[in-house]
Amino acid sequence: MRGHVKGVILVALLGLFALAGSLISGIQGAYVHEIGIVLSLIAVALGYRIYLHGIRSLWFGNVTAQLFATIAIFISVVAGLVLPSASATGTAEAVGYITASAIVAFIILAGMTLEDYIIHRTRGALEKLINMSPTAARIRRNGAEVEVPIDEVELGEIVLVKPGDKIPVDGTVISGYSTVNQATITGESIPVEKTVGDRTFAGTLNEHGALEIKVEKIADDTTLAHIIQLVEEAQEKKAPIQNVADRFTTYFLPIMAVLASSVFAFSYFALGFEVALARTVTVLLVACPCALSIAVPVAVAGTIGNASMNSIIIKGGTHIEKLKDVKVVAFDKTGTLTVGEPKVVEIKTVGNYSEAEIIKYAAIAEKFSEHPLSKAIIAKAAEMRMKIPDPTDFKTIPGRGVDAHYGNKHIIIGRKMMEMEISEEVNQLMSMV
């Protein structure tokens, strides 16, 4: 059973027994109060995680909220068991003391369990990042292609990446052309064209063409590995306000212990043992830092966890606190403030061609292309309820565009530089006529 699930069950059972003991304390009848004591004691026992944590902190000389809660609950339970024999009111008071200690245990344990759950969620986001990194790579060694564990890849080796594979290393393309989805690193959903000389990153997705990549960074030195390390460090870093809360607890709890001892001593000599013990228990239970012990850790862990689940990397609690001083925020637009999917919003006609004809021929040429801009054109044609026939001839010109034929039409779509090259070729042909 997972730890956080077990914790939730313990909290639920503790709360149930504490509630039952509290309700029974108000009922009159034979052995009813004894049953309430048993139920409340079971509830207290279910908070064993608090006591183990408290004893451990005492062993190492640390003053923690769990240590103080352990002492308060122990004294309250002892009071509940001792007072009935020294008091005429009987077991009714015992139920009250033990139920109060069970409620404190419930609050502290609920906070600890909530923190565990949030940390589990944060680790889940971290595991997603780790899973983005391939565990093996296909490399060329001694003239043959072999697949090896990622830890065995060496700097300078040539990694072969097929369409649809994740790129296993940071490096430079030495052969091939493709588009690569780098959203895991940059957050940009639009694939980036990669050709000879371009850099690649581990964990990104090669979409269409085959690539040969020279290894420049491996294993723990890749960009993705550094991002994972940042998230791990963020989980361990404490926010400044959390350090303040810890220091406050360190001084506050001993002061309250001294105060409780003083209350007991004064009340004992003035009013007797029963009143002294009752007031001491009251001081200890009220002084239990239930909220203080869980407020800051839960807030920080929750913020970092939710951010990680939404692909936002926060380096630590310090930076969360600094957000209150932020006056201006600069956002990347594409894929962050927008969905990152290109869309045809305007069509400019040329010559005697209508808008419908331009979209039709463009869609024919782009029909077999996987480029995001091609998909936008195809989507526009579908929106205009067009049936798009296949081109009679089609080829992709890496880094430039597409070249297709349909009927007696020669359709070329691409970058401005491609248009300039075509214009030069046409001019050369015209000069030869």
332: annotated active-site residue: yes
Confidence class for position 330, pLDDT limits 50, 70, 90: confident
Comparing C-alpha atoms, which of 150, 181, 179, 167 is closest to residue 212?
167
Give the pLDDT mean for 114-135.
Answer: 69
Give the chain's length: 433
Residue 222 has pLDDT above 70, yes or no: yes
Does 348 reside within a domain? Answer: no
pLDDT tens track for 192-212: 888 888 998 888 888 878 888
pLDDT of residue 287: 75
pLDDT of residue 86: 41
CATH for 217:
2.70.150.10
Does 337 reside within a domain? Answer: no
| Domain match, 278 and 308 both | yes
| Domain match, 91 and 158 both | no
Does 97 reside within a domain? Answer: yes
| Domain match, 148 and 255 both | no
| Domain match, 206 and 242 both | no
Token pair of 7 as six digits: 């914790």
| Proportion of the chain above pLDDT 70, given as a percent | 69
Does 263 reside within a domain? Answer: yes
| Domain match, 122 and 158 both | no
**Range with the poorest average pLDDT among 98-102, 189-193, 375-379, 381-385:** 98-102
Does 347 reside within a domain? Answer: no
Report yes or no: 321 and 171 within 8 Å, Cβ to Cβ: no
pLDDT of residue 291: 66
**Range with the poorest average pLDDT among 68-72, 150-154, 311-315:** 311-315
Which of residues 292, 318, 344 is at a domain's end?
Answer: 318
| Domain match, 124 and 259 both | yes
pLDDT of residue 433: 37
Structural domain boundaries, residue 208: 136-221
Does 201 reside within a domain? Answer: yes
Beta-bridged to residue 393, according to DSSP, are: 405
Confidence class for position 430, pLDDT limits 50, 70, 90: very low
Give the pLDDT mean for 26-51.
Answer: 63
Question: How many CB atoms sit inside 10 A of residue 82's CB?
Answer: 15
Does 341 reside within a domain? Answer: no
CATH for 421:
3.40.1110.10
pLDDT of residue 419: 58
Report yes or no: 161 and 210 within 8 Å, Cβ to Cβ: yes
Comparing C-alpha atoms, which of 248, 238, 174, 179 is closest to residue 209?
179
Q: Does pTM surpass 0.85? A: no
**Range with the poorest average pLDDT among 95-99, 156-160, 173-177, 339-343:** 95-99
Confidence class for position 302, pLDDT limits 50, 70, 90: confident
Which of residues 167, 190, 221 is at a domain's end?
Answer: 221
pLDDT of residue 177: 84
| Domain match, 213 and 255 both | no
- Burial of residue 72, with CB atoms counted within 10 A of its CB: 0-12 exposed, 13-18 middle, 19 or more buried: buried
What is the number of domains present in the chain? 3
Does 42 reside within a domain? Answer: yes
Comparing C-alpha atoms, which of 210, 246, 190, 227 is closest to residue 64?
246
Quote the longest CA-to-CA distance of the chain: 123
Confidence class for position 87, pLDDT limits 50, 70, 90: very low
| Domain match, 296 and 237 both | yes
Highest mean pLDDT (candidates 249-258, 311-320, 386-395): 386-395
pLDDT of residue 88: 42
| Domain match, 102 and 211 both | no
Q: Dihedral of the CA atoms 156, 158, 159, 163 (nearest 10)? A: 140
Residue 133 has pLDDT above 80, yes or no: no
pLDDT of residue 118: 65
| Domain match, 261 and 308 both | yes
| Domain match, 8 and 122 both | yes
pLDDT of residue 431: 44
pLDDT of residue 332: 72
Which of residues 221, 256, 289 is at a domain's end?
Answer: 221
Choose, from 332, 390, 393, 403, the residue flagged as catalytic: 332
pLDDT of residue 2: 54
Residue 245 has pLDDT above 50, yes or no: yes
| Domain match, 50 and 118 both | yes
Residue 138 has pLDDT above 80, yes or no: yes
